Amino acid sequence: MNIKAEESYVEPSRKGFVTNYPSFQYWKKSAVEEMLTEKPISVYVHIPFCIQRCAYCYYRTITLKGSERPEIDRYVDAVCREIEIAAKRFHLKDKHVVSIYFGGGTPTLLKEGHLSKIIECLHENLSIDDEHEFTVEAEPVTLTEKKADILKKFDVNRISLGIQSFCDEVVKLSGRKDTEKKALKAIEMAKATGAVVNIDLLSGLAGDTQETWADTIKRALSTNIESITVYKMELYANTAYSAGVRKKTLELPSDAQEIEFMRYAIEQFEQAQYFPWSSFTFTKMGHYVHTYPINMFRGNDYYGFGASAFGFLGDYGLLQNTNDLERYVAAVEANELPLSRGYQLTSLERMIRNVALEMKLVRLDLKEFQRKHGFKLDSLCASTIKQLELEGFISTSEKEIELTSKGILYGDYVGKRLTRCLMEMS
Ligand SMILES: C[S@@+](CC[C@H](N)C(=O)[O-])C[C@H]1O[C@@H](n2cnc3c(N)ncnc32)[C@H](O)[C@@H]1O
Ligand code: SF4
Do residue 267 and residue 161 come from a single domain? Answer: yes
**Residue 135, in any domain of the structure:** yes
What is residue 203's DSSP assignment? E
Do residue 134 and residue 226 come from a single domain? Answer: yes
**Residue 22, in any domain of the structure:** yes
Decide: 312 and 396 in contact? Cβ < 8 Å.
no
Number of domains in the chain: 3
Decide: 21 and 110 in contact? Cβ < 8 Å.
no
Ligand nearest to the CA of 229: 1
Do residue 115 and residue 29 come from a single domain? Answer: no
User: pLDDT value at position 6?
Assistant: 64
User: pLDDT value at position 10?
Assistant: 85
**Residue 154, in any domain of the structure:** yes
Do residue 28 and residue 48 come from a single domain? Answer: no
Pocket test for ligand 1, best of 47, 56, 161 (most atoms within 8 A of CB): 56
- Which is the closest atom of ligand 1 to the Cα of 234? 20
Task: Return d(Cα 75, Cα 56) in angstroms, integer.
Answer: 25
Which CATH number fits the domain that encloses residue 368?
1.10.10.920
Task: Return d(Cα 143, Cα 199) in angstroms, integer.
Answer: 13
> Does the beta carbon of 50 sit less than 6 angstroms from any atom of ligand 2?
yes
C-alpha 371 to ligand 1 mean position (Å):
36
Do residue 380 and residue 250 come from a single domain? Answer: no
Is omega for the bond preceding 105 within 30 degrees of 0, making it cis? yes
Do residue 15 and residue 52 come from a single domain? Answer: no
Q: Stretch 66-91: mean pLDDT, rounded?
A: 90
Q: Is the pLDDT assigned to residue 66 strictly greater than 80? A: no
pLDDT tens for 212-267 read 999 999 999 999 999 999 999 999 998 999 999 999 999 999 999 999 999 999 99
Do residue 169 and residue 218 come from a single domain? Answer: yes
DSSP per position, 264-277: HHHHHHHHTTEEES
Task: Return d(Cα 389, Cα 48) in angstroms, integer.
Answer: 42
Do residue 199 and residue 276 come from a single domain? Answer: yes
User: pLDDT value at position 47?
Assistant: 96
Q: Is the pLDDT assigned to residue 4 strictly greater than 60? A: no
Pocket test for ligand 2, best of 57, 172, 239 (most atoms within 8 A of CB): 57
User: pLDDT value at position 5?
Assistant: 54
Residue predicted with more confidence, 2 or 205: 205
Do residue 249 and residue 147 come from a single domain? Answer: yes
User: pLDDT value at position 69?
Assistant: 72
> Where is average pLDDT lowest: 9-23, 108-122, 166-180, 398-412?
9-23
As a residue count, the chain comes to 426
Question: Which residue, of 277, 295, 313, is where some domain finishes?
Answer: 295
User: pLDDT value at position 11?
Assistant: 85
Q: Stretch 296-322: mean pLDDT, rounded?
A: 97
Decide: 402 and 363 in contact? Cβ < 8 Å.
yes
User: pLDDT value at position 68?
Assistant: 58
Bridge partners of residue 202, in order along the sequence: 231
Q: Stretch 333-341: mean pLDDT, rounded?
A: 98
Closest CA to 128 of 81, 83, 158: 83
Which CATH number fits the domain that encloses residue 98?
3.20.20.70
Bridge partners of residue 63, in order along the sequence: 50
Ligand nearest to the CA of 53: 2
Ligand 1 atom 1: residue of nearest CA = 104
Q: Which H/E stretch holds residue 301?
A: strand 301-305
Percent of the chain with pLDDT over 90: 90
Question: Which residue, of 280, 295, 310, is where some domain finishes?
Answer: 295
**Residue 301, in any domain of the structure:** no
User: pLDDT value at position 426?
Assistant: 74
Residue predicted with more confidence, 90 or 11: 90
Do residue 10 and residue 58 come from a single domain? Answer: no
Closest CA to 302 of 7, 4, 28, 42: 42
Task: Return d(Cα 355, Cα 415) in angstroms, integer.
Answer: 6
Maximal CA-CA distance, the chain: 89
pLDDT tens for 313-322 read 999 999 999 9
Q: Is the pLDDT assigned to residue 7 strictly greater than 80? A: no
What is residue 38's DSSP assignment? P
**Residue 335, in any domain of the structure:** no
User: pLDDT value at position 425?
Assistant: 83
Mean of pLDDT over the chain: 94
Do residue 116 and residue 19 come from a single domain? Answer: no
Q: Stretch 68-75: mean pLDDT, rounded?
A: 83
- Which is the closest atom of ligand 2 to the Cα of 164? 1
**Residue 157, in any domain of the structure:** yes
Question: Which residue, of 268, 295, 322, is where some domain finishes?
Answer: 295
**Residue 192, in any domain of the structure:** yes
Burial class (CB in 10 A: 0-12, 13-18, 19+), 245: middle
Q: Is the pLDDT assigned to residue 14 strictly greater than 90? A: no
| Ligand 1 proximal residues by C-beta, below 6 Å | 50, 56-59, 103-106, 137, 139, 162, 164, 200, 202, 231, 233-234, 236
Pocket test for ligand 2, best of 46, 49, 59, 231 (most atoms within 8 A of CB): 59
Do residue 219 and residue 104 come from a single domain? Answer: yes
Q: At what angle do helices 347-358 and 366-373 cross, to 10 degrees?
A: 160
Range of the domain at 284: 40-295
C-alpha 48 to ligand 2 mean position (Å):
9
DSSP per position, 138-199: E-GGG--HHHHHHHHHTT--EEEEEEE-S-HHHHHHTT----HHHHHHHHHHHHHTT-EEEE
Closest CA to 305 of 81, 109, 73: 81
Q: Which amino acid is at 165?
A: S
**Residue 25, in any domain of the structure:** yes
The sign of the dihedral angle between the CA atoms of 106, 111, 113, 115 is positive
Percent of the chain with pLDDT over 70: 98
Q: Is the pLDDT assigned to residue 70 strictly greater than 90? A: no
